[in-house]
Amino acid sequence: MNPKTIETIFSAIGTKKIAVIGDVMIDSYLWGKAERISPEAPVPIVMVEHRESRPGGAANVAINIKSMGAEPLILALVGDDEKGHEFSKIISRMELNTNGIIFHPSRKTTVKHRVIASNQHLLRVDEEITTPVSGQVEKDFIDHCLGILAEYKPNAIIFEDYDKGNITPAIIDAIVDFANKKSIPSLVDPKKRNFSSYRNVTLFKPNFKELVEGAKIDFLPKNDPEKIFKAAARLRQQLQAKYLMVTLSEYGILITDGNSYYHMPAQKREIADVSGAGDTVISVAALLLCSESSMETIATISNIAGGLVCEKPGVVPIDKHQLMRETQAYFSTLFKSDTV
């Protein structure tokens, strides 16, 4: 792939509109220094220097889409509580559309508190309820989503499932049916609870652990692409997905259409924090998919993007220009090695 082709791909990405449906949350950070151990217990004492709240979960996917120059829309339920309204204010300040957010008194806004010292992630404390929405709340959310999607006309729809209860089988069925009738690609970043409910989607993206557990495999070597392909192809067939893409952390990404597969090895990087890497991967994959990129291109650029955000502490979005430079450098190196 030459630099001009890569520039064309990245230019096309900026014209896309992506709807993100799923569990949103606040990522709360407490940054400081840890220079001594507590006399009360064998734990570090963190001297606080900075506090920060960022939108997380499905909202982080939306932020990654926006950082790539495209237009995201979040569809989600939050609590009608202090944190829910704080979440709305945060995404509004980031110039993200808030029309898709519903406040409901039956929900509690998820907050993940992270303590970080000297770029080391020391502790996480979560506040949440994870009971799935049901009854009238579920029905109202389905109607809310379908109404906005019909008006918004997205180029792709992402399900960002964190098992916090915002996504149910009924919600999945309604949205996937809408997407398929409108020929809109749908992508899934799954979790355990709804794993088998995502049928007839365009791209299903489990990580290695989720593949093993979801496919009910006793043992699967993580460094054997051929065996992973066979397991992924079976799961793809069960779910009737067009593509199944497995993230393999230090072993890269594997994608298959059921007939063949492509394995993109991980690049060597200084890993600071893997938080949010999956959000980046699904965001970039969605933009490439609705830009009609090949499955090899989707896996390659998504893998590079996931690696880049792992170099920074905390949950951070991808930098579009850095990603384009790294993609050009990767294909340039690949081309040179192929011609030697």
pLDDT of res. 309 = 75
Tokens describing residue 252? 């890269």
pLDDT of res. 333 = 78
The answer to whether the beta carbons of residues 274 and 249 sit under 8 Å apart is yes
Whole-angstrom distance, CA of residue 329 vs CA of residue 25: 35
pLDDT per residue as tens, the chain (340 positions): 777 789 999 999 999 999 999 999 999 999 999 999 999 999 999 999 999 999 999 999 999 999 999 999 999 999 999 999 999 999 999 999 999 999 999 999 999 999 999 878 899 999 999 999 999 999 999 999 999 999 999 999 999 999 999 999 999 999 999 999 999 999 999 999 999 999 999 999 999 999 999 888 888 999 999 999 999 999 999 999 999 999 998 899 999 999 999 999 877 756 544 556 889 999 999 999 999 999 999 999 999 998 887 666 556 778 899 999 999 988 887 755 554 3
Work out the number of other CB atoms within 10 angstroms of the CB of residue 220.
15
- CATH of the structural domain 3-25+57-111+130-339, one choice from 3.20.20.450, 3.40.1190.20, 3.40.50.720, 3.30.70.520: 3.40.1190.20
Provide the whole-model pTM. 0.91
**Choice among 23, 27, 273, 279 that is catalytic:** 279
Specify whether 279 is catalytic: yes
The answer to whether the beta carbons of residues 166 and 133 sit under 8 Å apart is yes
Whole-angstrom distance, CA of residue 169 vs CA of residue 128: 21
Whole-angstrom distance, CA of residue 83 vs CA of residue 308: 30
Q: How many helices (H) and strands (E) does the chain have?
A: 10, 13
- Label residue 40 exposed, middle or buried (CB < 10 Å: 0-12, 13-18, 19+): exposed
Domain boundaries, the chain: 3-25+57-111+130-339
Q: What is the CA radius of gyration of the chain?
A: 20
pLDDT of res. 323 = 92
Q: Which residues of 245-281 are buried (b: 16+ CB within 10 A; e: fewer)?
A: bbbbbebbbbbbebeebbbbebeeeeebbebbbbbbb
